[in-house]
Structure 1
Amino acid sequence: MDDQQAALLGPADVRRLAEELSIRPTKKLGQNFVHDPNTVRRIVASASVTSEDVVLEVGPGLGSLTLALLPAAGAVTAVEIDPALAARLPRTAAEFAPALRDRLTVLEADALRVRAADFPAPPTALVANLPYNVAVPVVLHLLAELPSLRHGLVMVQAEVADRMSARPGGRVYGVPSVKLAWFAEVRRAGPVPRTVFWPVPNVDSGLVAFRRVEPPSSAPRAEVFRVVDAAFAQRRKTLRGALAGWAGSAARAEAVLRAAGIDPTTRGEQLRIADFARIAEAAAAEDAS
């Protein structure tokens, strides 16, 4: 094996490591371990990771994706909530990629609670097989907390991938689609078959790629997101009705919408993130007058 390469985990390796750690994958933690080397190679290639990148991996599990990232990245910081998995990962790197082991840092932490100061170097890329039940909150938290993150590729449940990458007007366009658009351009990057996981999940998976963009507005993000949450809390209502609680009344909601140049009879799923920002700006201007 080349010094700058890593041996990758196959099905037998995954089961051996799981047995060694007495791990029985749980639905609660969304644990489905990838055991197909070609899949992790494809993920790393699709993520466009270079030696200039400090990669953040969330939920590395037994290390299948970690081992594929080490030769491609300048450094990898893996955030793992499970103490047993976090403790084993450096030894797995030493076993399968001895020349690259120093590129790996493992943080035993909850990805929903990590802060920029927790990282030895600012991460530039997020590449992860994310637990299905927390995928969107994790990505939103990391993009907000780590301005150094410029691009990424995550594997999530196919349905979640559709929502993350949806465009205005689509049936699944909603809060995740709009909030992610504040931070980044998001797109689907292909399907992932169930058979590459152990245990085999009962859902399909998909890859979602993102590249950071400048926010569409100088309005406070929290205020814009309050508008987004209100607009989609009652999807069937027009914005005049859906934003009534947020604005204080339907009449004020209509006035703010008209000031923002938005038809009050429109529904939330028709608006882009920039439109929601204009609503927040219009409300702030009215409050200030």
Structure 2
Amino acid sequence: MGYLAEDQRPMNVSKIKALKGQRPVVVVTAYTAPVASIVSRHADILLVGDSLGNVIYGMDTTVAVTMEMMIAHGRAVAQYADYSLVVVDMPFGSFQESKEQAFRNAARLMKETGCQAVKIEGGIEMAETVAFLTSRGIPVMGHVGLLPQSVNALGGFKVQGRGDAGLEQVLRDARAIAEAGAFTVVLECVASQVAEPVTSSIAVPTIGIGASNACDGQVLVIDDLIGLTKNTPKFVKRYAEVAKQIEQAVQAYSQNVIARSFPEDDTHTFS
């Protein structure tokens, strides 16, 4: 049984919100059906992040990720997430133009994937859009602090919330998104002193990634967590070294094939 099996399942938005002040919210990314089926018992939320552009497709940023990519991976995950709430990222260019555009694309994501919520990057400037969606039946996970979709405007991946002005900006953004109706707010790559005042100032759970354990929950990219990626961000703890295991397995397979010891007669063949 999973660590979270004692909790009532499956998860939904109301249960996630009720976890604030009770216990930390466990979030992990998932992009494929096999991974979703393995990790669902151990996570409150499976996030089909646009980070798939980096870890699945080898892109330098998430800017080029498309709706079609998010739908394909979102559908695969939602089919096999028996316990977790599934949230799908809205990719760059799918929601910034207008709240009406955001609604059309969010509704499409939910219809075509079977997910229960979408995630939108942005602060005060996206509050009206978040309110528009949530008032029309689309649950929204907010995302403030470092915004990977805005990396070109930011001039790189830079820690946010430093200094008094930086702290106030993150506070304003988080409050605006929470008050607009988001059921959780991701805080990404913010200075360690930011998480506590933000978390205590909004009524919904904060989910940290590089934001300290003062948040109401944590999220990591699955490929970072299990050791599939070459570079490890400072905020990541690697819980396995799966890349090494894959290499060892394929190396052994290669040696077996060359030595003609695989396939073995009777064991791996048909009569």
**TM-score, length-normalised on structure 1?**
0.27
| TM-score normalised by structure 2 residue count | 0.28
Higher helix share: 1
In our comparison, the structure showing a higher alpha carbon Rg is 1
